[in-house]
Amino acid sequence: MTILKKEIDKKKKKEKKSKASNLSGNFKSRDEKDELIQRLKICQYNDNIFDYIDKKYKKYIIKNKNYSNENILRDKEKNDDNNTHNNADKYMHNNDDNCSKNLVNSSFIFFESINSYELKKYKSSSLIFNMLHTITKINMKKLYDENNFLNKGWSDKEKFKELKSNRSKLILGFLKKEEANEYIDSHNLSENKRDDHTSSITKQNTKKHFVDIIKRDDKNEIEEFLKTNPLVCFINYRFTSDYYPYQKNIVCYLYEIQIIKEYIKIGIGTHLINILEQLCKNIYINKILCTVLKSNHKAVMFYKNKCSFQLDESSPDNFYSENVTSQTCEYEILKKDILL
């Protein structure tokens, strides 16, 4: 029995090693690497970025061990009595005042990948784009207007255009929340059995993939999915040419990383950046770029302190201006170099 177990473990390690090799991009030539990057850059081949990174990144477990059973039941009853959400955000999050009221021990975020080019093929995509736009507007409109970003401030039209661009790639994060009665049952289990219970719930709740549902173009089915799996975060990014004089280099440009305010400061943002890092590493892209408003101090600290971004050479303040009366730029361009 022991020998058999050793052989099984040995086989599993071999398969894991082989899988890791494939994920890291086991290409035969530079031409193959370039071909893959161009295919992903174009966004018209219905690619899924989770085909290129470890599947463990598809899920982010949220641990909230300090929230008691009594509080969970109390808030569940309160939410059931006051379940009145408006059309603008009813599919994005629960209308709670505190994130901890939403999250229990085995709550998790699961992520889906889709290109805007693909998403736009379906009539029901308007619901998704409206949600993405609403999340971004709530988080960013005031900052855009206060800084007169790009000399025009916030523009609904421009933001929709950006989100729907044929070159935009989206990663959507949906919350799967364990109900109070499920939590209490699992809380009373032993640690090992509780882990198995959580794993079982995870498998059950991710059988229905959002991308598959959107392709059936059934608005009612999408709305039903979003009732139990509210959208809480997303990133919008593109593969594009670097700034002068490095235009031949293809980089990952992060246009948006947006998280609903009730779910910030629990590690979701860092996980999203980690997804992009792993993707870039595995397809041989050596840099992530993003534009950040200087007055958005929390975002600046997140990128620089949490995620080790640095000022890119292309950032406007790096360039000398002969006009002594000119004001410094309202934004800066940050980079994260990827070690290949």
The CATH homologous superfamily for domain 44-337 is Gcn5-related N-acetyltransferase (GNAT) (3.40.630.30)
- The pLDDT tens digits of the residues spanning 240-265 come to 999 999 999 999 999 999 999 999 99
pTM of the predicted structure, to 2 decimals: 0.78
Say if CB 197 and CB 250 are below 8 A apart.
no
DSSP state of 109: E
DSSP 303: I
Using alpha carbons, list the distances in angstroms from residue 281 to 52, 111, 278: 10, 19, 5
Question: E-assigned strands of 117-176?
Answer: 169-176
Q: 3-state SS of the chain: helix, strand, coil percent to 5?
A: 50, 15, 35
Q: For residue 12, what pLDDT is reported?
A: 58
In sequence order, the 6+-apart residues with CB closer than 8 A to the CB of 117 are 43, 44, 166, 167, 168
What are the DSSP E strand ranges found in the chain? 59-61, 108-115, 169-176, 231-241, 250-259, 287-293, 310-311, 331-337
**pLDDT of 107:** 86
DSSP annotation of 95 reads -
Separation of alpha carbons 204 and 221, rounded Å: 17
Residues composing the chain: 340
pLDDT at 9: 64
Residues 254 and 289 sit within 8 Å (Cβ to Cβ): yes
Low-confidence ranges of the chain (pLDDT < 50): 17, 20-21, 65-76, 78-79, 81-86, 88, 95-98, 100, 105, 179-189, 194, 197-198, 201-202, 204-206
